[in-house]
C-alpha cells in the first residue's frame, strides 16, 4: 500500500528533478519499498511541458544505471500540496516559489534536497546547481549531490515512518 509520496521540484523539470526522481525511485526499489512509495517530479517553469529529460542528464544518469526515459516534464500545482507528503526543492528559488503556492493547511514537509546532504565536502553546498546553461561537467556533480542527499532523505523518511508506527 502506498503510504508515502515524494515530489522533487526544480525549474524546468528536465534536468535536476527528473534525476532526483529516478535516483530516489531506484533507491526505494532497491530497499524493497516500491509498493509503499509514490515518487514524482515537477517544475516551476513551463518551457518544457511534456518533454523528456535533457539528453545530457539522461546520459549521465544512464552511466550509473538510472533510467529516466519514461519521465516527462510537468508543472507543479497547488494540488500537489494535498497529494504529496514531502515536496523537495532543488534550489532556493524553487523553494521560494513553492512557499508562495503553499496552502496554509499543508501538512507535509517542504525542504531543500541538500538539507539532507551527508558528505562533509557537500555541507557548504545548499543548492543543486542548475546545469542547463553550463558545461558537460556540471551534470556528474548534479548526480553526485543528488545521490548523496537522496540516500539520506530515504533514511530520514524511513525513520519518520518507523517513529509514526511505534
Residue numbers annotated as active site: 10, 16, 130
Stretch touching ligand 4NP by CB under 6 A, among 14-22, 61-69, 75-83, 98-106: 14-22
76 binds ligand 4NP (CB under 6 A): no
Q: How far is the CB of 149 from ligand 4NP (least distance, A)?
A: 15
Q: How far is the CB of 132 from ligand 4NP (least distance, A)?
A: 4
For residue 8, give the H/E element and its range: strand 4-10
Strands (E), 63-160: 86-89, 109-112
Phi, psi dihedrals of residue 99, rounded to the nearest 5°: -65, -35
56 binds ligand 4NP (CB under 6 A): no
Stretch touching ligand 4NP by CB under 6 A, among 4-12, 27-35, 81-89, 99-107: 4-12
117 binds ligand 4NP (CB under 6 A): no
Position of cell 511534456? Answer: 50
Give the number of C-alpha atoms closer than 13 A to the C-alpha of residue 123, restricted to the C-beta side.
4
Beta strands 86-89 and 37-43 are unpaired
Q: How far is the CB of 156 from ligand 4NP (least distance, A)?
A: 22
Distance CA 165, CA 54 (A): 40
| Start-to-end C-alpha separation, the chain | 18
15 binds ligand 4NP (CB under 6 A): yes
Please count the helices (runs of H) and the strands (runs of E) in the chain: 5, 4
Number of residues forming the site for ligand 4NP (CB under 6 A):
10
114 binds ligand 4NP (CB under 6 A): no
Q: Which residues bind ligand 4NP (CB under 6 A)?
A: 10-16, 47, 130, 132
Amino acid at each position: 500500500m502506498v503510504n508515502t509520496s515524494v515530489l522533487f521540484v526544480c525549474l524546468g523539470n528536465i534536468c535536476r528533478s527528473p534525476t532526483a526522481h529516478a535516483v530516489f525511485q531506484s533507491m526505494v526499489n532497491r530497499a524493497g519499498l516500491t509498493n509503499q512509495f509514490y515518487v514524482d517530479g515537477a517544475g516551476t517553469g513551463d518551457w518544457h511541458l511534456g518533454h523528456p529529460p535533457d539528453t545530457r542528464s539522461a546520459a549521465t544518469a544512464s552511466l550509473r544505471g538510472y533510467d529516466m526515459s519514461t519521465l516527462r516534464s510537468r508543472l507543479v500545482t497547488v494540488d500537489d500540496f494535498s497529494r504529496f507528503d514531502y515536496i523537495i526543492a532543488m534550489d532556493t528559488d524553487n523553494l521560494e516559489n513553492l512557499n508562495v503556492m503553499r496552502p496554509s493547511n499543508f501538512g507535509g514537509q517542504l525542504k531543500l534536497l541538500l538539507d539532507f546532504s551527508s558528505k562533509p565536502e557537500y555541507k557548504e553546498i545548499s543548492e543543486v546547481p542548475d546545469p542547463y546553461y553550463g558545461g558537460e561537467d556540471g551534470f556528474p556533480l548534479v548526480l553526485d549531490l543528488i545521490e548523496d542527499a537522496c540516500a539520506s532523505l530515504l533514511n530520514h523518511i524511513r525513520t519518520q515512518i518507523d517513529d509514526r508506527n511505534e
